[in-house]
Amino acid sequence: MLVDESVYTSLKTAGAFLRSKGLSEPESDAEVLLSFVLQTKRSKLPLIRGQKLTDRQVLQYKKYVLKRSKREPVAYITGFAGFMGFEFKVNKNVLIPRPETEILVETVLKLSERENKNLVLDLCTGSGCIAVSLAKLGKFRNVTASDISFSALEIAQENAQINNALDINFIESDIFDKIGDKNFDMIVSNPPYISDKEYNTLEPELKYEPKIALTARDGGLFFYGEIACQAVKYLKNDGFILLELNAYKADEVERIFSDNGYKNIEITKDYAGLPRILKAEKEC
């Protein structure tokens, strides 16, 4: 692949190259990568379409476009991803934040304000995008975030610093293992929920993300079962659990929580109309 020197021709050539590799949004990917190389906003690219790239910028852009052509996610190439209006550092130790998870955060924020809930635990925090967003946008008295991966927690803590959310309590813990005797108004999580069978059918981009953060035993239901069983010890009376769902196993997850005695179970659909967020209330 050859990359021309101007912004316009570089984008045109890169977009065509990525399209030839079967990517679904080649022009968008080309724009994001070039704006990163030029350290400018993507929206400004049309205004500088005639600007020439330096030799160093051409080589850097070519390198990034080649990586993307091999299906490496753009967020891992640039090292950053947007979520809830904030910027989060990401690498291959954490999942890339996704728009569907924003629905979870928005649901938690609305519920916490309506029910005056201000102590929250974010299990399997990963990049910290949920915990940081809640700390920045909510009125929580305390936000605790945990993950089994020390490498993920390092990224989460860095993201808290980047976004000036310095009052989050981070804990290295396997689910509730190291949470102690704390009680919360709300427990929130986007847990691993893909079965090994489903993992084998995922698009190539997802294979770059940490498998430990994607897959779960028991056909993808393991963490839902563990959270449903153990959370009652860590939730205050009338506390809530809010989880992101494997959309294709929503009925099974709902049954898990119903069987464990939770009440007022509700499921919210995502932008594609798929069941995505589960809300369940602890029985007094």
Q: How confident is the model at residue 246 (pLDDT cuts 50, 70, 90)?
A: very high
User: Residue 284 pLDDT > 90, yes or no?
Assistant: no
In this prediction, residues 51-68 reach a mean pLDDT of 96
For the chain, domains (ranges, CATH) are 7-70 (1.10.8), 92-281 (3.40.50.150)
Instruction: Report the pLDDT value the prediction gives residue 283, as an integer from 0 to 100.
Output: 82
Distance CA 244, CA 124 (A): 11
Task: Quick: pLDDT tens for 152-209.
Answer: 999 999 999 999 998 999 999 999 999 999 999 999 999 999 999 999 999 999 999 9
Closest by CA to 66, choosing from 119, 30, 12, 42, is: 30
Task: Quick: pLDDT tens for 111-139.
Answer: 999 999 999 999 999 999 999 999 999 99
- The average confidence (pLDDT) of the chain is 96
Instruction: Report the pLDDT value the prediction gives residue 4, as an integer from 0 to 100.
Output: 54
Instruction: Report the pLDDT value the prediction gives residue 221, as an integer from 0 to 100.
Output: 98
User: Residue 1 pLDDT > 90, yes or no?
Assistant: no
User: Residue 5 pLDDT > 90, yes or no?
Assistant: no
